[in-house]
Amino acid sequence: MTRDDISRGEAQRLRGLTEAARATRTFEILADSGALWVWGDEDEVLFSEDGERRTLLPIWPHATVARMENEGEVDGEHPIRITTEAFLNQWLPQLEEDEANIAIFPVEDRNAAVITLAEFRSRMTAALRLN
- For the chain, the average pLDDT equals 92
Q: How far is CA 96 from the centre of its chain?
A: 16
pLDDT at 125 over 80: yes
Q: Is the pTM of this model over 0.75?
A: yes
Q: Measure the CA–CA gap between 77 and 71, rounded to whole angstroms.
A: 8
Q: Measure the CA–CA gap between 128 and 85, rounded to whole angstroms.
A: 10
90 DSSP 8-state letter:
I
Structural domains in the chain plus CATH codes: 8-130 (3.40.1350.90)
pLDDT at 2 over 70: no
What are the tens digits of pLDDT across the range 31-43? 999 999 999 998 9
Identify the helix (H) or strand (E) that includes residue 37: strand 35-40
Secondary structure percentages of the chain, helix, strand, coil, to 5: 45, 25, 30
25-62 b/e (C-beta count within 10 Å ≥ 16 → b): bbbebbbebebbbbbbeeeeebbeeeeeeeebbbbbbb
Give 82's strand partners. 36
